[in-house]
Amino acid sequence: MAEITPLATVECGQRPIREINQEIKALIAAGRTGIELAGPGARHNLGVGIVQLARIHIRGSAGYYCAGLIDGPEFEVDGSAGWGLAESMMSGKVVVHGNAGNGAAAAIRGGTVVIHGDAAARLGVSMKGGLVLVGGDCGYMAAFMGQKGTLIVCGNTGEAFADSMYETTCFVGGKVGDLGTDAVIEPLSEEDIAMLDSTLATHFSAGERARKPAPRAFQKIVAGRKLWNFDKRNWQWWREAL
Amino acid sequence: MADPILQQSGIFTPAVIDDIQTKAASGLYQIRGYGTLRQRRWATFDDLTFLPCSLTRIPLEGYREKCTTAVTLGTRYAKRPIQLDVPIMITGMSWGALSLNAKVALARGARAAGSSNTTGDGGMLMAERENSRTLIYEVLPSRYGINIHHMLMADGIELTIGQGAKPGTGGLLLGSKVSEVIARQRDLPAGVDQRSPARHPDFLGPDDMIVKVEELREATNGEVPIFVKMGASRVYDDVKLAAKAGADVIVVDGMEGGTGASPAILQEHTGIPTLAAVCEARAALEDMALYGEVQLVIAGGIRDGVDAAKAIALGADACYIGTAALIALNCNRPLHVEDYAKIGAAPYACHHCHTGLCPVGVTTQDPELMRRLPIDEAAERVSNLLHAMTLEIQMLARACGKSDVRRLEPEDMAALTTEASAICGIPLAGTRKVYGH
């Protein structure tokens, strides 16, 4: 993490999004790596495409694609975030204190996304790495086609959870609404339990953590690998899958 | 007269019998590459003919008078529109579907001709960037290899909604082509039969896409044009929605478009022909008063300068080629004939890109096969093809009295069939009637 300089404030107001993002990028280029966005007004595309180390604090809610296509910075959103939160992130950290809309952490290749509230549908879809942690529930088709990385949902999931995955590993503390095609439950290992314990301790306060299930209560879901290659013996799987 | 005892069914033809028996053995729909193999009974560019100058119009000297071919794409919003010397571009084909040598040869060939090339499903190959003059970065539903740094190195961003060979369905890359290197590039396990998604992970409908296009523009600081590419289905409405979403350039890929691997039925039975697609696309932009402001790129089975000239006359600013460029690389050439036979194909009848065993080193990840495609020679053939196609377009434009190929227009052509007349709004040759209008 870059050294934090005195906090710079970017007033969002009714300014064009281009102007807001260009001001953020100009501040970072000038070495002002601690930035707060005041009055974000749930504007779309806040903080998109930032590829430098910085800490950006959004004092309110953000719209679609907040922190999308980033590599390196850390974002904190006081409110909620719209669709496509942190999509295609390469590295960095995005923390949302409220809820997140559809497709949060879609296609991320690295970094960490923490959503303290609930996540809507298609959480972590096509994720290719990184860590996604949701304090509450998630909607349908979370982790769909997950390729790599770890997805943790402390609450309940929606339908078709972990459908058609490759190598993403999922953990669910609540009830799995419905397993997707080729998703299988696997026993937790001691390493898994240690990882869950440490991850929850890292990202949640003690009080918050106390309200989450104990690491041993989580279920682990991985790909059954039946869809990885076409095989006529599995035609009934394919009928469901395609 | 056919022997009544040995007479074959017109319904259950040998091809149909083979198809049924293959599926009965495999339990799976048939998968192959290349694009539609059907004999074309629908209206195509061949159903139009140019009307060169005679007494009513004065031609330009065919072999020498100046006829401009340069094209600018992205004039609507981009700070840095794309400037091309020729109106033929290389379409997106993935490193994975194609070999590294093929990708680099396409890049070098396009660069030498003053044209562009496009990445593909799987992200940017650095050797491709280094060898390109103008490189367009595709953002596909799979987001394989998505990398903001690569986007920032691109000269254009293409948000791909679909592909002409299979609109509404993602691509396939069978396990034989998912080598260790390709798997690493795509964050996949090596050897899996990779099925790309059809839906983008972070937006669904056209209203969401407005925000997505803005995101891509923000991520690239408004510098480069944002293309939106679609397979040709409901083209009139889709083009309007893409234009409304803020696209600088709209790409419409007709049903004759190619693919590295897809279910055969999609290649044969989905989408509308390229000829129809260009007409619908132009009408949509004209109805929004955006024709000329939003540039139109047409793709799908463009074979030569004649097809491209007709597409331009109907309203395209430029054309993409894919299969034609691969044929320039050596696809279907009678070399290594024994290796065609090994995969059940033959020169001129090979559509086995999906196997990864391309005898001429174009659609393979096998290092031995890839060596059969020396980059320099292949790049020169691509460059030559782009030059030759451009000369063909100029030839037709000069004959029609146009000093800029973009001044070709529907009025420069006549329809040879009533269908083409109805689709293109062009009088049928020998009449003054536009059929169906």
Q: In the prediction, which pLDDT does A5 show?
A: 62
Q: How far is A229 from chain B (nearest CA, A)?
A: 5
Q: List the domain range (segments joined by +) for residue B278.
A: 59-330+373-407
Q: Would you say residue B294 lies in a domain?
A: yes
Using CA atoms, how far residue B147 sits from A17, A108, A132, B143, B219, in Å, is: 22, 10, 19, 9, 11
Q: What is the pLDDT of residues B123-172, one digit of tens each?
A: 999 999 999 999 999 999 999 999 999 999 999 999 999 999 999 999 88
Which of A84, A228, A232 is facing B27, going by the closest CB pair?
A232
Q: Give CA–CA dist B137/B140, Å, rounded.
A: 10
The strand order across the sheet containing B116-118 reads B88-90, B318-321, B295-299, B249-253, B226-231, B156-160, B134-139, B116-118
Contact flag A71-B220 (C-beta cutoff 8 Å): no
Higher confidence at residue B63 or residue A35?
A35
What is the C-alpha to C-alpha distance for residues B392 and A103, in angstroms, rounded to an integer?
Answer: 47
Confidence of residue B1 (pLDDT cuts 50, 70, 90): low
Q: Verify whether the Cβ–Cβ distance A103 to B201 is below 8 Å.
A: yes
Q: Which of B143, B146, B215 sits opposite A45 (nearest CB)?
A: B215
Give yes or no for residue B189 having a pLDDT over 70: yes
3-state secondary structure B34-53: CCCCCCCCCCCHHHEEECCC
Contacts of B124 (CB under 8 A, 6+ apart): B135, B137, B145, B147, B150, B153, B154
Asked if B82 and B182 sit in the same domain, the reply is: yes
Q: Which residue of A has its CA nearest to B220?
A: A49
Asked if the structure places residue B265 within a domain, the reply is yes
Contact in structure between B295 and B239 (CB atoms under 8 Å): no
Clarify whether residues B129 and B153 are in a common domain: yes
User: A44 and A17 in contact (C-beta within 8 Å)?
Assistant: yes
Half-sphere exposure of B286 (CA within 13 A, CB side): 9
Are B79 and B222 a contacting pair, CB within 8 Å? Answer: yes
Return the pLDDT at B362. Answer: 97
In this complex, the residue of A84, A109, A227 whose CB is nearest that of residue B187 is A109
Q: Is residue B347 domain-shared with residue B215, that is, in the same domain?
A: no
The answer to whether residues B325 and B351 belong to one domain is no
Domain identity same for B70 and B129? yes
Residues B280, B217, single domain; the answer is yes
CATH number for the domain spanning B321: value is 3.20.20.70
Predicted pLDDT of residue A32? 94
Residues of chain B with Cβ-Cβ distance to A168 below 8 Å are none
Is residue B32 within a helix (H) or strand (E), and if so which, with residue range?
strand B31-32
Residues of B with CB under 8 A from a CB of A: 26-28, 142-144, 146-149, 151-152, 174-175, 186-189, 191-193, 195, 197, 201-204, 208, 211-212, 214-215, 218-222
Q: Of the given ranges (A150-154, A232-236, B120-124, B384-388), which has the lowest mean pLDDT?
A: A232-236
pLDDT band (50, 70, 90) for residue A242: very low
pLDDT above 90: residue A43? yes
**Within a domain: B10:** no
Report the pLDDT averaged over residues B182-201.
93
Closest to A21 (Cα-Cα) out of B155, B78, B223, B221: B221
pLDDT for A25:
97
pLDDT band at A234 (very low <50, low <70, confident <90, very high): low
Give the mean pLDDT of B377-386: 98
Contact state of B218 with A45 under an 8 Å Cβ cutoff: yes
Residue of A nearest to B198 (CA): A242
In angstroms, rounded to a whole number, what is the distance separating the alpha carbons of residues A81 and B431?
62
CB neighbours of residue A144 within 10 Å = 27
Rounded mean pLDDT of A7-32? 96
Whole-number pLDDT of residue B371? 97
User: Helix (H, G, I), strand (E, B), or coil: what is residue A6?
Assistant: coil
Whether residues B193 and A148 touch (CB distance < 8 A) is answered with: no
Q: What is the pLDDT of residue B359?
A: 97
Shared domain check, B195 and B302:
yes
Q: Give exposure, A198-213, as e/b (b: 16+ Cβ within 10 Å).
A: ebbeebbeeeebeebb
Name residue B262's beta-bridge partners.
B32
Residue B114 lies in a domain: yes
| Contact yes or no for A106 and B212 at CB 8 A | no
- Model confidence over B236-294: pLDDT tens digits? 999 999 999 999 999 999 999 999 999 999 999 999 999 999 999 999 999 999 999 99
What is the secondary structure of A29-67 as a DSSP string?
HTT--EEEEE--TT-TTTTTT--S--EEEEES-B-TTTT
| CB count in 10 Å sphere of residue B244 | 15
| B314 and B294 both lie in a single domain | yes
> Is pLDDT of B114 > 50?
yes
**What is the spatial distance between Cα B185 and Cα B183, in angstroms, rounded to a whole number?**
5
| Amino acid A232: pLDDT | 62
Domain assignment present for residue B45? The answer is no
Across the interface, whether the CB atoms of A17 and B218 are under 8 A apart is answered yes
d(CA B134, CA B155): 6
Q: Which residues pair with A34 in a beta bridge?
A: A55
Tell me: the pLDDT tens digits for B36-84?
A: 998 888 999 999 999 999 999 999 988 889 999 999 999 999 999 999 9
The whole-angstrom distance between B218's CA and the closest CA on chain A is: 6
Residues in B closer than 8 angstroms to A17, CB to CB, are 214, 218
Q: Nearest CB to B148: which of A17, A71, A126?
A: A71
Is there a single domain that holds both residue B263 and residue B149? yes
Please report residues of B whose CB lies closer than 8 A to that of A125: 201-202
Q: Do B212 and A63 touch (CB under 8 A)?
A: no
| pLDDT on residue B223 | 98
Domain contains B415:
no
Residues B189, B75 share a domain:
yes
The verdict on B354 and B318 lying in the same domain is no
Residues with Cβ within 8 Å of residue B409, at least 6 apart in sequence: B313
Q: In A, which residues are within 8 Å of B354 by CB distance?
A: none
The shortest C-alpha distance from B205 to chain A (Å) reads 12
Domain count, chain B: 2
Average pLDDT over every residue of B186-212: 94
Query: How high is the mean pLDDT of chain B?
Result: 95
Across A147-157, average pLDDT: 98
pLDDT tens-digit series, residues B16-41: 999 999 889 888 888 999 999 988 88
Q: Is the model more confident about B30 or about A212?
A: A212
* Cβ proximity of A192 and A221 under 8 Å: no
CA B252 vs. chain centroid, Å, equals 9
What does the pLDDT read at residue B4?
Answer: 77
**Gap from A126 CA to chain B (nearest CA, Å):** 7
pLDDT tens-digit series, residues B391-429: 999 999 999 999 999 999 999 999 999 999 999 999 999
Tally C-beta pairs within 8 A across A and B: 117
- pLDDT, tens digit, for every residue of B348-374? 999 999 999 999 999 999 999 999 999
Domain assignment present for residue B30? The answer is no
For residues B235 and B359, state if they share a domain.
Answer: no
Which pLDDT score is estimated for A4?
54
CA of B169 to nearest chain A CA: how many angstroms apart?
A: 10
| Beta carbons of B192 and A228 less than 8 Å apart | yes
Contacts of B380 (CB under 8 A, 6+ apart): B109, B112
Q: Residue B421 falls within a domain, yes or no?
A: no
